[in-house]
Homo-oligomer: A and B are copies of this chain.
């Protein structure tokens, strides 16, 4: 654990402007493909126009700061494309990524008046933004929406607990294996088991992975190399890794590992 500041974990101070998409399209939510994966599913088909009006769709380039730690909590977001990283920082620059919000996930919920965490896009991201009063109105007017949000937060909490187990008690090897395992994509062809191994979605950099796993980039890199050497995974492309032995990876991830 570094008492000194590893400056490389700092996020780029550069803050690009949000790029608002076509405003409040009444058809947007009706046609939205990620609706069923998200909290929006709590709103009935007939009332989707209201949902469309309550939110605004934005497209954000990679590296955009969506939320700055400590600023007033004015908005709530629902991710419809891309990946967002959530993190907390120490005054000296040390950073912990607390999660990656992929398609269907929300971010920005808080009770305090200010955000207790930061958020930045990993790649090009599309979100629906709800301003706070609009979100509150939806919660009050649509019990199913609120119920669905409660369920999402509960899931999020369970994931956070799993990550605490990883950060507090797993070895570097187990952490990396857990990470790769959790980001494995379902096989493209459901019937065919794995012709050439399951793909892993890794849009983020090594720095982000390290900050998520509580390790340094060097340790992450070494560990991935080791897994590659022993043929548990393949792929020389940094953002495209294939799992050759899913079982083996899961064994390592859960700590039932020899070496």
Chain A interface (Cβ < 8 Å from any Cβ of B): 1-3, 86, 88-92, 94-96, 98, 109-112, 116-117, 139-140, 143, 146-147, 149-151, 153-158, 160-165, 167-172, 174, 211, 213-214, 254-257
Contact = CB atoms under 8 A, between A and B. Distances in A.
Given A1-B172, A109-B154, A146-B146, 8 more contacts: A86-B161, A98-B161, A117-B158, A139-B147, A153-B157, A156-B157, A164-B167, A168-B214
A214 B89 CA distance: 19
Given A96-B164, A140-B143, A256 B151 contact: no
17 contacts: A1-B172, A3-B255, A88-B165, A90-B255, A91-B255, A92-B255, A94-B255, A110-B158, A111-B155, A111-B158, A116-B158, A146-B147, A150-B150, A150-B153, A157-B160, A160-B161, A168-B214
Nearest to A115: B158
Contact of A167 (B94, B151, B153, B168): B168
Contacts of A151: 111
A96 B168 contact: yes
Contacts of A112: 158
A10 to B, nearest CB: 13
What 5 A-B pairs are tightest by C-beta distance, nearest first? A168-B214, A167-B167, A160-B160, A96-B165, A96-B168
A156 B154 CA distance: 10
Contacts of A94: 169-170, 255
Tell me how many chains of this kind the complex includes.
Answer: 2
Contact of A169 (B96, B150, B154, B168): B96
Contacts of A214: 167-169
Contacts of A153: 150, 153-154, 157
Contacts of A174: 3
A147 B153 CA distance: 12
Contact of A157 (B92, B157, B169, B255): B157
A160 B164 contact: yes
A110 B155 CA distance: 7
B139 A170 contact: no
Nearest to A161: B98
